[in-house]
Amino acid sequence: MSDPKIDGFELKPGFKGMASDTGSDQTMFKGVHWGKAMMWIFLLSDTFVFSCFLISYMKGRASTPVDWPIPSEVFALHVGGVPVPLLLIAIMTFVLITSSGTMALAVKYGYEKNKKMCGWLVLATAIGGLTFVGMQVFEWSKLIHEGVRPWGNPFGAAQFGSFFFMITGFHGFHVSIGVIFLFIYAYKIFAGHYDGEGKRGWFTTMRSDYVEIEILGLYWHFVDLVWVFIFAFFYLW
Amino acid sequence: MSDDYNDNKIIQAQSSEVMGGSAGVNPDMDYVRPSELPEQDLYHGHTFLTKWVFCQDAKVIGVQYFLTAVFTGVVGLILSWLMRLQLGFPGLAGFMTAEHYYQFVTMHGMIMVVYFLTALFLGGFGNYLIPLMVGARDMVFPYVNMLSFWMFFVAVAVLMASFFVPGGPTGSGWTLYPPQAILEGTPGSGAGILLMLISLSLFVIGFTMGGLNYLITILQARTRGMTLMRMPLTIWGIFTATVLAMLAFPALLVSSIMMTLDKVLGTSFFMPTILKAGEVLEYGGGSPILFQHLFWFFGHPEVYIVALPAFGIVSDLISVHARKNIFGYRMMVWAIVGIGALSFFVWAHHMYVSGMNPWFGFFFASTTLIIAVPTAMKVYNWILTLWRGNIRINTVMLWCLGFIVTFVNGGITGIFLGNVTVDVPLSDTYFVVAHFHMVMGIAPLMVIMGAVYHWFPLVSGRLLSEKLGKWHFWLTFLGAYSIYFPMHYLGFIGVPRRYFEMYDSPYMTSAVGMNEFISLAAFIVGAAQFILIFNVIKTLKNGKKAGKNPWQANSLEWHTSTVPPEHGNFGDRLPVVHRWAYDYSVPGAKEDYIPQTTPPSEVAHTEVEKT
C-alpha cells in the first residue's frame, strides 16, 4: 500500500512526522480508517487481558506448594507406542501460523479488489482456524480422559488444570469468534457486499469496505501472536 | 425498525473552500486546511424504538446512561441511609441484621464507584459532550455505542437482580476479597457473588465498546482546526480516563473470571488450603494476594477514571464562570496525562496491611506521593484561574469552589494514608472512609452537580432555578462536611470501619454521640439531593428559557444550529475552529468571550494570543 495523501498536510516520516501528526487537527493517525484505529486500541486492551491471565499463571505456578506437572510428558502423543512430546501442539501451531499467512494474502487481494482470491483465502483462513479449534477440542478431551480437571489432576498441582483450561479456553474462544467472523466475511465477499460503493449494513449507515478484511486480519494475527506466548509459557516452560 | 436512510437529510460533504465566519477580511489569516474526512452518514431513527430506545445518537445515549446511572446512584444513596441508620441508632431498624449491613456496605460501594460515577462521567458526560466539543456529527461507531449502553443496562439489571435472589446480594465488601467472598458464612456467597461477578464482566464488555468510541472520536474525528491542544480540558479528562479504563478494566475482567471459576468449578486460583469447622475444604494452593493485586491494578486507576473527567470538567466550568482563560492550559493537559500514567504504579498502597513484602510498601509509598505533584499543580492552576477573574457567583461556580476545597481536604488525608507508617495504624478505620469519600465521593459529585447546572440548559433548553440550586448546594456542602469531618476523628480514636455495631467496646462512649450526629447529617444531605430532582421537574415544566449560549461560553457545544442540538449536532456545516476554548476577557474584544469558531481576522485588533 502506498502512503495516504492528505490535502494540505505534509506527511513527514519518523519521529518528526509523528509529532507533526499529533500537533495537527482532525486526525492523529493520518489516513488511518476509524475501524482500523479502533481495532488497534482494542487489541492493546486485549493484550492487557491476556497479560493478566499469563502473569496470574506465573504467580500461581510459582507459589503452589505441590510440584507442577512436567509438560513434555503431559502433552505427549503416543505414536506407535512411542511418546512424542509436543507433537499435537506443533501441528496446531503450524496450522494457526499458516492461517495467518492466508489471512495476509487475503488482505492483499482484498485491496486489489480481487473478489475471488480474497474470498477463497478468507475461507481458507476460517478453515485453518476451525482445524485449530478442532485439534484443541481433541487435546482437551484427551487430557480430560486422562483425568485432568479444572479442580485437580493426577500429575501434580491442581492449578495446572485450572490455568490450562482457563487460558487455552479463553484463547480458543477468541479463535472461535474469529472463525465465525471469517465465515461471515467470506459470505459477504462472495455475496458482493464489497462491490462498488459497498452495501450498507442493517440498522446502520456503515458501508462494507475491503478495509474490514484488514481489520479482521489484525485481530487474527493478534490471536496467533497470543498463541505463541501461550505455547511458550505452557508447553515449553 | 425502519431501514431507510432518509437520504435527503444526509448532509452533503462540505466543500474545501477557504472559509471564515464572515466573508474573509484576510483570507490567509483565516486559512484552515480542508477536510480530511468524508461527511459522516448518520442513521436517523423514525420510530419510537429507533429514536428513543435503541437510539444511535450519542446525545440520547448519553442521557440514557445518565438516567440509568442516577437510578443506581439513588439505590446507593438509600443503602447509605440504611447503613447510617444502623450506625447512628443501633437496633432502631428491626430488620437490620449484621448480614444485611454487610450486604448494604458492599452494594453501596460497588454501585457508587462503578455503576454510578464511572458510568455517569464516561457514559453520560462522555457521550453527550465528546462529539459536540470536538465538532463531530456523532460518535464514530454509533451502532456499537448503542450496544454499549444496552450492555451497561443489562449489567445494572443483573446487579439489581442480586437483591432478589436467595441469600441476597454479596456482603463481602466492595473489594470482594477471596477467600471469604465465595465461602459459606459470608452473606450472599451463593447467587449474590455470582451475579456481582457476571454483572462486572458485562460492565467491562459494555464499557470497552463505549470506550473505543470515545477514543477514536477524539483521536480521529475532530473538526477542522481542532488540534489536540485546542480541545477543552473536559475532553482531555474524559480521554485520559478512557485510556485508563481500557487498560485497567482487563484486570477486573480477569479477576472476575477467575473468581467465578473458583466459585463454580472449584478451581483454586485465589483459594489457599482452608480449615472449616475442623475439616479441610477441597480448595488449596491458591493465592488470595494475587486477587488483591489484580483487583487494585484495576481499583486504583478506577479512582482516576472518576477523578480525571471531574478535573477536566471543573476546569472548564471555572474558566467559563470566572470569565478568564484557564491558567496554564498545557500544564493542565500534561498533569492529567501524568496523573493517568502514574496511577498504574501505585496500586499496592491499598495493600500495606496485606502481608506483602515491606520493600513493596516503600516503592508504592514513593510513587503515591509523587502523584501529589501534578495534582497540586492542578489545584494551583484552578486557584490562579480564579485570581482576578470576573467571577460569577452562581450555582455552578459554588459547586466548583466546593469541589476545590473538598478535593484539597481529601487529598491531604491521602498524603497521610500514602505513607506506610501512618497508614498501618489508620488502616481499616473511619479515617480511610472519610478520606476516600471526600476525595472520590463528594469531590467528583460536586463536579457532577456543577456540570448538571451548567449543561442542563444545553440538554433541555431551560435554566435550572438558581434559588433551589443554592439551597441544594449549601445543604449538600455543609452537610457533607458535617458527615466526613467527624469521621476523621472517629478514625483517630480507632473506630474500625465495616463493623455492624460497636458492642461493648470502649469506643461506645466517645463515638456514640458523634455517630448519631453523622447519621442525622447524612439523612439531611441525602434528602437534599431530591431538591435537584424537584428542580429538574419544575424547570422542565415551566423553567426560564435559556436561549442560545446562556453562559457566554466559547466551546463548540454552545454553538450548534439549534438548542438543544439535533441529531448531527451542527446543521448543514461542521464548525471550523480557530482557537482554544478559553479566550475570555480578551483586552480589546467587543464581548468578553471569543468563541472557538471566530476567525482571527474578526478579532485582529484585539490582544488575543495565538493558540
d(CA B3, CA A34) in angstroms, rounded, equals 24
Cβ count near B34 (within 10 Å): 17
| Closest listed residue to residue A110, CA positions, set A4, A219, A204, A216 | A216
- Which residue pairs, CB below 8 angstroms and at least 24 apart, start in B538-541? B538/B465, B538/B468, B539/B456, B539/B460, B539/B462, B539/B463, B539/B464, B539/B465, B540/B460, B540/B462
The 10s digit of each residue's pLDDT in B333-347 is: 999 999 999 999 999
Q: What is the DSSP string of B393-438?
A: -SHHHHHHHHHHHHHHHHHHHHHHHHSHHHHHHHTTBHHHHHHHHI
pLDDT digit string (tens) for B534-566? 999 999 999 999 989 999 999 999 999 888 999
Q: How far is B214 from chain A (nearest CA, A)?
A: 10
pLDDT at position A225 is 96
Check A202 against B3: CB less than 8 A apart: yes
pLDDT in tens, A202-226: 888 888 889 999 999 999 999 999 9
- Average pLDDT estimate for B230-255: 97
Considering only CB atoms, which chain A residues are within 8 Å of B577?
A: 25
Helices B443-460, B395-418: crossing angle, 10 deg rounding: 150
The single residue listed with the C-alpha cell 448546594 is B473
Q: Which residue of A has its CA nearest to B2?
A: A203
Q: Of the CATH numbers 1.20.1070.10, 1.20.210.10, 1.20.140.10, 3.40.50.2300, which one belongs to the domain with range B58-272+280-600?
A: 1.20.210.10
The answer to whether B247 contacts A44, with C-beta atoms less than 8 Å apart, is yes
Domain boundaries, given as residue ranges, for chain A: 33-236
Q: Which residues pair with A79 in a beta bridge?
A: A82
Select from B361, B366, B527, B546 the least CA-distant residue to B453: B546
Residue B14: pLDDT band by 50, 70, 90 thresholds? very low
User: Which pLDDT band, with edges at 50, 70 and 90, does B26 fall under?
Assistant: low
Other CB atoms within a 10 A radius of the CB of residue B276 amount to: 11
Q: CA torsion sign, B257 to B259 to B262 to B264? A: negative
For the segment B555-609, what is each residue's pLDDT rounded down to a tens digit?
A: 999 999 888 999 989 988 999 999 999 999 999 998 999 999 999 989 988 888 8
Can you read off the three cell numbers belonging to residue A76? 505427549
Across the interface, of A27, A48, A205, the residue whose CB is closest to B41 is A205
Task: State whether A42 and B212 contact (CB < 8 Å).
Answer: yes
Q: What is the DSSP letter of B391?
A: -
Mean pLDDT of A86-100: 93
Classify the C-alpha dihedral B203-B141-B457-B611 as positive or negative.
positive
Nearest to B222 among A25, A35, A207 (CB): A25
**Coil, strand, or helix at residue B341?**
helix
pLDDT > 90: what percent of chain A?
Answer: 69
Instruction: Give pLDDT tens digits for A135-153.
Output: 999 999 999 999 999 998 9
* Distances B163 to B107, B166, B196 between C-alpha atoms, Å: 9, 9, 10
pLDDT, position B473: 97
Q: Is A197 on the interface with B (CB under 8 A)?
A: no
Q: Is B15 on the interface with A (CB under 8 A)?
A: no
Contact B212 A41 (CB under 8 A): yes
Rounded to whole angstroms, the Cα distance separating B109 from A92 reads 46
pLDDT band at B9; cut points 50, 70, 90: very low
- The identity of residue B574, as a single letter, is L
Asked whether the beta carbons of residue B216 and residue A9 sit closer than 8 angstroms, the reply is no
Give B276-301 pLDDT, tens digit per residue.
Answer: 888 888 888 899 999 999 999 999 99
Phi and psi torsions of B584, nearest 5°: -105, 145
Dist CA B121 CA B112 (whole Å)? 12
The minimum CA-CA distance between B216 and chain A, rounded to whole Å, is 6
**pLDDT of B4 higher than 60:** no
Predicted-complex ipTM score: 0.94
**Chain A residue numbers touching B33 (CB-CB < 8 A):** 7-9, 25
Mean pLDDT of chain B: 91
Q: Which residues from chain B sit within 8 angstroms of residue A44, using beta carbons?
A: 246-247
Nearest residue of chain B to residue A46 (CA atoms): B250
Nearest CA in chain A to B223: A26
pLDDT digits (tens, 9 = 90+) for A3-44: 667 877 888 888 998 999 999 989 999 989 999 999 999 999
CA nearest A162 in B: which residue? Answer: B267
As a whole number of angstroms, the distance between CA A163 and CA A183 comes to 30
Given CATH 1.20.120.80, say whether it is the number of domain A33-236: yes
Chains A & B: contacts with CB separation below 8 Å: 161
Q: 57-76 in A: which are within 8 Å (CB) of B? A: 59-60, 63-66
Shortest Cα distance from A34 to chain B (angstroms)?
7
The residue with cell 433541555 is B460
